[in-house]
Structure 1
Amino acid sequence: MTVFERIKEVAKARGMNLKTVATNAGLSENALYRYNQGVEPKYPTLKAIADVLGVSVDYLLGNTDEMHSNKKDENVPIDLDKVLSEEGMAMFDGQPLSDEYKKALLAMLKTMKGND
């Protein structure tokens, strides 16, 4: 399976189209289609795409069949304040959260913390 086929397969499984993946990775809307024409993506580009899709670069390259093989211990706590405050991808139910939704969630969590 080629890099393009893997990207396309994972995007479909995540309910995303290739234009959305490209845009969320900071690429032009049609950038991913070049990889179907023999263009080899550079590592920083692959890393951005892998981050958007929630898989490892090794998975996209076909070096492993484990989607998250480069992830560290799954039991490491996630700092929601950091995830919701920073730019980048946060997802719910397989769909990316908008910046407005992330801000609303962060405000709600801070309000709830103040009511302890």
Structure 2
Amino acid sequence: MTVFDRIKELGKRRGYNISQMETKLRLGTNSIYNWKKRTPTADNLAKVAKLLHTSTDYLLGLSDDPDTVQNDNNDMTKNQKLIAHSIDPDVTDEEREIIIGMVKEAMKFRRRL
């Protein structure tokens, strides 16, 4: 299931269609639809996660539980914090969570090889 599919499905369960989410979050028309083929920005993904009361991990496919909002920053090791900071020292907390989620997904993929 893609990021778009998860957003569409969870949005429907939460009472939103794609157009309503785009309007409420002040995203451009068809912004979320474009995520079928493009990766959303960290900021926009975090906005959608907040609106849908879920985690970015769920939207990225790293978690199967849409009702769990996670804040992994408190559980990060010193090395994980350094890695996230070294990518871009000016990232927001939401962006850092998404970066960590992407790294976790890459690690899962690597283990499958």
Normalised by the length of structure 1, the TM-score is: 0.57
Structure with the bigger RCO (C-alpha within 8 Å, sep 6+) is 2
Please name the residue that 2:64 is paired with: 65
* Count of aligned pairs between the two proteins: 71
Instruction: List aligned pairs for 1:9-24, cutoff 5 A.
Output: 9-24=9-24
Task: Please give the alpha-carbon distance, in whole angstroms, between the structure 1 residues aligned to 2:42 and 2:23.
Answer: 17
Larger helix proportion, structure 1 or 2?
A: 2
Task: Please give the alpha-carbon distance, in whole angstroms, between the structure 1 residues aligned to 2:23 and 2:46.
Answer: 14
Unaligned stretches of 5+ in structure 1? 73-116
- Tell me the amino acid that sits aligned with residue 7 of structure 2: I
Instruction: List aligned pairs for 1:1-116, cutoff 5 A.
Output: 1-36=1-36, 38-67=37-66, 68-70=68-70
Unaligned stretches of 5+ in structure 2? 73-113
Normalised by the length of structure 2, the TM-score is: 0.58
C-alpha contact (below 8 Å) 1:20/1:29 kept by paired residues: no
C-alpha contact (below 8 Å) 1:21/1:53 kept by paired residues: no
Task: Please give the alpha-carbon distance, in whole angstroms, between the structure 2 residues aligned to 1:52 and 1:21.
Answer: 8
C-alpha contact (below 8 Å) 2:58/2:64 kept by paired residues: yes
Larger Rg: 1
The RMSD of aligned alpha carbons is 1.6
